Structure 1
Amino acid sequence: MDQFISVFMKGASEKNFQRLAMEFLPQYTALISKAGGMLSPETLSGIHKALQQGKLSDVISQIQEAISAAENAGLEVAVIGQSGTGKSSFINALRGLSHEAEESADVGTVETTMYKIPYQHPKYPKVIFWDLPGTGTPNFHIDMYLDQVGFANYDFFIIISSSRFSLNDALLAQKIKDAGKKFYFVRTKVDSDLYNEEKTKPTTFKKENVLQRIRDYCLTNLISIGVTEPRIFLISNFHLDTFDFPKLEETLLKELPGHKRHMFALLLPNISVASIELKKHFLQEKICLEALKSAAVSFIPFMTFFMGFDLPQQEECLKEYRSYFGLDDKSVEEIAERLGMRLEDIKGQLKCLDFWPLVKDDSIIAQAKNAAEAFCAVNGGPASSVFQALKVYYGRKQFLNTVVDDAKHLLRKMETVNVASPDSI
């Protein structure tokens, strides 16, 4: 990421827009190589062309449109399965809610979903998980079913089973495929299968063998009923960091459109260090784009005073990062309760909760830097561009790293509690 900024700084300081245009695409491609980015091919081409022509206003508007699209993206996920398969538990897990939360999906052993039921994500109201009736419900007819559930509205489909998938599941998958949409088979409750196998066969039990047998059974079952090259993910709704849930995350992120990919990455729960790092990766892309936009704005005299990264914006930025990683005030209170710790003790361990220590600098060097920044902002041009890009880049990077460190700290504390729990896997 630092390479992305350093290349831009060199081109900006020399006011060499041709160099900027030439370096932008390969540097951005390297930046997003891990999990994809939020910019569409059309937007990338537009920014490249605007840089070539030195049209900074076009660069600003295209980056801002892309960021706004990612921050406001709607996402509708269809989750299909019979009662008792773990469908509602899966939805609750993705929404970061316990089963006892007031807004959680109903969990039970009887059929609780005869009609489609929407569940909004508690932090992202435009993200909706739809709990759809299973394909084995009475009077199931594939074409009628698709019409009834509003097939065209969903971004992708997750078909859930806790044992074997049915012929109706296969028919539904084929219809989804024919319509050009994505579907994924999720086999739940593998933790229960492992537990039962170990209890009944303690001397011959091998976790890897049992998981492979479950996977092979599902594959054989689906192929036999007509699904070609099925993708199956084995998961436990109560232990998302184990089994195939991380692989499911990675697959979805690769196959969603850019702006929806960014939104999906932000809503994923902090189930492991890897998931926290993945979320950090997506936000690092946004930081680079924000820095590039700020640099373009700052070429224009006085514009930094109207659109700069001032203290209110910095404070809002830190709050956003805290929310993305589940460290907003409400979430911290819930974590303290789950850990059985006093809220004050938890807060005392988190650096991201106090804004001023992260930004306050009364040194003479800092004062001189602020004066130089204001002077450059009046005149605009390369010097102002470099000043603002670095300010946005390193300021946001500091906030992000602080929040990520705190999120990892709390994750380790939660893992300690889970290991101590008698039902841990």
Structure 2
Amino acid sequence: MDKFMCDFLVGKNFQQLAINFIPHYTTLVNKAGGIIASENLDRIQAALKEAKLKDVADIIEESLVAAENAPLDVAVIGESGTGKSSFINALRGLSYEEEGSASVGVVETTMKKTPYQHPKYPKVTFWDLPGTGTPNFHPHEYLEMVEFATYDFFIIISSSRFSLNDALLAQNIKEIGKKFYFVRTKVDNDLYNEEKSKPMSFKRERVLQQIRDNCLANLSNIGVPEPCIFLVSNFDLDDFDFPRLEETLLKELPVHKRHIFALLLPNLSYTSIEMKRAFFKEKIWLDALKSSALSFIPFMACFNGFDFPQQEKCLNLYQSHFGLDEKSVKGIAEKLDMSVEEIKSFTKSLDFWLLVKDDSIAEKAMKCVECYCSVNGGLPSTIFQFFKIYFLHLKFINTVADDAKILLHKTLEILSHRR
């Protein structure tokens, strides 16, 4: 039971609620941070202190609208053959054979930037920018040419050594106040080759450290002090440094853009799934707090009844975000050589009625209602319906996320047996 929400609804001491607000909120967000900026948290706290509930609702709504409508433009720079296109496809959740994927293995002949929109999130665009390996490369001219102000951050990719041009570009990106990250791709190929050539002395961690040290030394020597380098494989994104890259990007993105970036992360690691779960749980809580504030007097103004089609639509939306929509499940079934029915047999989120009829949801809702009634008297059904929906949405997101982890585990297990 969410004690803060119950205390809020029964109208307990708003001075104390204001004190408890930020500590409680921080328990909801993941380690990469939440979707409400610190200044807005302070504004909510101040509004709570003075019991200005309309202001509380307005600030939350303002933050949620900004998070849901934020565009995200990611610039990816690298020479042909460095794995740039594969990296873009992986972040878009597409294989190179799918329609709309970035071309892989094609010799780069153009100096034009190419946009690749995310198939599920149209406000997210990955920009494949021309490489920097031309004799006449000039960093300032390059940034002007590709319209640097368009992008939220730059990812500079190499599959071997980063070049002097990469270093010069990084310095100029820093000067214009943008973030950049060095990504060393095809690490899995390096490990494979090293193990084949030195089977007796091969040690995975030692080879990875050597690659990292070489990249650091290389960039330091050409003028990039303390570079942040991430080792990745475009075919095993859950391995190596990709989870750390995700977390770093989330932390360093503007607050209102974190939510959209978390949504697009493919379910290729347990870390990604947990990050996504945390963002949704935070949003569910904020939506509930906003509704509570808006309808504090009277409750009926905003607490709608338990509408089954609306709740099923909500579950379907969560399924889509976690790759468990009907189309995705069919694709997973084909990949695992299973039937859709087999997948349904070991997952729970695909059965809407099973989740809706969960008695524990009603029990949690009733405890909150009893807390409310002990202060205000009566048994308003609207309060019961509000808490029932609130706990049901938490159940939805937890069940969908757990199923995503189960399917990821089975996928990794089956694929490892096939190798």
Indicate whether the TM-score tops 0.5: yes
Aligned to 2:417: 420
Aligned to 2:102: 105
CA distance in structure 2 between the aligned counterparts of 1:104 and 1:381, rounded to whole angstroms = 58
Q: Deviations over 1:184-222 (max 9, x none)?
A: 000000110111111111111111111111111111110
CA distance in structure 2 between the aligned counterparts of 1:381 and 1:217, rounded to whole angstroms = 70
Structure 1 pair 310–49 and aligned structure 2 pair: CA distance change class (3 A): farther
8 Å contact kept, 2:9–2:296:
no
Q: Among 251, 269, 273, which residue is 1:272 paired with? A: 269
Gaps of 5+ in 1: none
Aligned to 1:295: 292
The letter for the 1-side match of 2:6 is M
State the SS of the aligned residue for 2:112: coil
Aligned to 1:28: 25
Cα deviation, residue 64, structure 1: 1.8
- Matching of residue 402 in structure 1 with residue 399 in structure 2: yes
8 Å contact kept, 2:44–2:56:
yes
Aligned to 2:213: 216
Q: Deviations over 1:32-80 (max 9, x none)?
A: 2622000012221221122122222221222122112212221000000
8 Å contact kept, 1:219–1:232:
yes
Aligned to 2:49: 52
Aligned to 1:190: 187
Q: Among 105, 108, 126, which residue is 1:129 paired with? A: 126
CA distance in structure 2 between the aligned counterparts of 1:37 and 1:308, rounded to whole angstroms = 29
Aligned to 1:83: 80
Structure 1 pair 73–260 and aligned structure 2 pair: CA distance change class (3 A): same
- Matching of residue 315 in structure 1 with residue 312 in structure 2: yes
Aligned to 2:348: 351
CA distance in structure 2 between the aligned counterparts of 1:121 and 1:17, rounded to whole angstroms = 43
Q: Matched residue pairs, number?
A: 412
CA distance in structure 2 between the aligned counterparts of 1:380 and 1:130, rounded to whole angstroms = 59
CA distance in structure 2 between the aligned counterparts of 1:381 and 1:224, rounded to whole angstroms = 74
8 Å contact kept, 1:297–1:385:
no
Aligned to 1:95: 92
Aligned to 2:388: 391
Aligned to 2:64: 67
Aligned to 2:136: 139
CA distance in structure 1 between the aligned counterparts of 2:384 and 2:153, rounded to whole angstroms = 43
User: For structure 1, which segment, 144-153 or 63-72, has the greater mean C-alpha deviation from structure 2 after superposition?
Assistant: 63-72
Aligned to 1:10: 7
User: For structure 1, which segment, 354-363 or 167-176, has the greater mean C-alpha deviation from structure 2 after superposition?
Assistant: 354-363
Structure 1 pair 295–309 and aligned structure 2 pair: CA distance change class (3 A): farther
8 Å contact kept, 1:301–1:381:
no
8 Å contact kept, 1:294–1:385:
no
8 Å contact kept, 1:13–1:386:
no
Q: Among 319, 327, 330, which residue is 1:330 paired with? A: 327
Cα deviation, residue 292, structure 1: 1.1
Q: Deviations over 1:132-166 (max 9, x none)?
A: 11111353221221111110110000000000011
CA distance in structure 2 between the aligned counterparts of 1:299 and 1:46, rounded to whole angstroms = 19
8 Å contact kept, 1:276–1:404:
yes
Cα deviation, residue 117, structure 1: 0.5
8 Å contact kept, 1:73–1:263:
yes
8 Å contact kept, 1:132–1:149:
yes
State the SS of the aligned residue for 1:264: helix
Q: Deviations over 1:264-304 (max 9, x none)?
A: 11111111222211211111111221221122233122544
Cα deviation, residue 118, structure 1: 0.4
Aligned to 2:223: 226
Q: Among 267, 283, 286, which residue is 1:286 paired with? A: 283
Cα deviation, residue 360, structure 1: 3.6
8 Å contact kept, 2:183–2:230:
yes
CA distance in structure 1 between the aligned counterparts of 2:308 and 2:97, rounded to whole angstroms = 39
User: For structure 1, which segment, 99-108 or 140-149, has the greater mean C-alpha deviation from structure 2 after superposition?
Assistant: 140-149
Aligned to 1:240: 237
CA distance in structure 2 between the aligned counterparts of 1:234 and 1:33, rounded to whole angstroms = 23
